[in-house]
Amino acid sequence: MRIIAGTARGVRLGPVPNGVRPTSDRVREAVFNSLGQFFDGGEVLDLYAGTGALGIEALSRGYERAVFVEINNRAAGVVRENLVRAGFAERGEVLRGGVEGELERLVASGRKFHLIFADPPYRIPPKEIGDVVDRLAALLSPGGRAVIESRHPPVWDTDIMKGESRRYGGTFVTFLERSEEHLVKLAICPGSFDPITVGHVDVINRAAHIYDHVIVAVGKNVRKGPRLTVEERARLIGKVTGLMENVSVEIMDGLLVEFARERGATVVIKGLRAGSDFESEFQQSQLNRTLYPKFETVFIMAAAEHSFLSSSAVREIASYGGSVHGLVPDEILDIVQRLYVDGQAEKSNKG
């Protein structure tokens, strides 16, 4: 076995230990043809390293450092010998241990890699390989890639990783990268929520089933003169959404696009009750995209039974002492009834 290209091109690697299945020169060359011939720095992780040929080839082609994980003591010694042969002894780190345990330690230490190789023994079942793939996302730098060699294409559960498999003789090579789509599964559901209604809760709950996390952004909304303070409104929403694990409540002071940009969110959720809502929301959506081009608006249609419901209607009913049962969540029914009646009485007395 020899290094194919780069600064160590032509260097002969040490003898292959018994029981180790090295990546053939043909497959290794095909892998680097797909990844790119040469690189400008970065760190490589070579799992089930064997002879270390993949990681050393990456060092030869421009990567700065490489970490090799190998459980077999003799094979780990061959990796160290090959690093010396190639002139990379100071740029390689050999970890002797099982892949699962070393992965946990690397994740815990916050290490990140631009390229990860995994060439497990063929006797390892696809499900176990899939479990390893699920963990690789936590170790990949932004834009990083992972390459998996196996007898059969691996099956993984996480949607964070996406990729494709190619066959070279009896070997499948799967090229993976972090899915950028996963990074946008944070959505913001903004509003004054004065007060929050069952219609709002329905939209928030449905959004929470689509996105990884939903931030309910409670605006101070001074221009409209809300009945309750923003802190009071946020507390009411917190009581209602407390059991929704992927929903949080924050106070928003300022432009929605700046709030979203600071949190790395590119999606805003808006509930629509009727066609009349769409016109104003459409204009707002266009303005938001002018200010923040990555910002997308997703509309969720109100359930038919909530199409007539609005916070202003609830305020008016409550202010005259009417029952708002069924219009606001049961958890805050008494609080809303009291706060809005009391608030109207105080307003009348001041007048």
What are 71-128's pLDDT values in tens digits? 999 999 999 999 999 999 999 999 999 988 999 899 888 899 999 999 887 667 666 7
Asked whether 148 and 133 are in contact (CB, 8 A), the reply is yes
Those residues whose C-beta lies under 8 Å from the C-beta of residue 182, and which sit 6 or more positions away, are 159, 160, 212
What are the pLDDT digits (tens) for 168-211?
777 888 888 876 554 447 899 999 998 899 999 999 999 999 88
- 311 as an active site residue: the answer is yes
**Domains parsed from the chain with CATH numbers:** 25-178 (3.40.50.150), 184-350 (3.40.50.620)
pLDDT band at residue 3 under the 50/70/90 scheme = very high
DSSP 282: H
Q: State pLDDT tens for residues 134-160.
A: 788 889 888 889 998 888 777 766 666
Catalytic hit among 224, 294, 338, 347: 224
Tokens of 313: 């209607």
Among the listed residues 112, 273, 289, 310, the single catalytic one is 273
Residue 273 annotated to the active site: yes
For 34, phi then psi, to 5°, come to: -80, -35
| Catalytic entry in 200, 233, 270, 315 | 200
Say whether 213 is catalytic: no
Which position among 185, 285, 311, 315 bears the catalytic label? 311
212: which DSSP letter?
S
Q: CB count, 10 Å around CB of 298?
A: 14
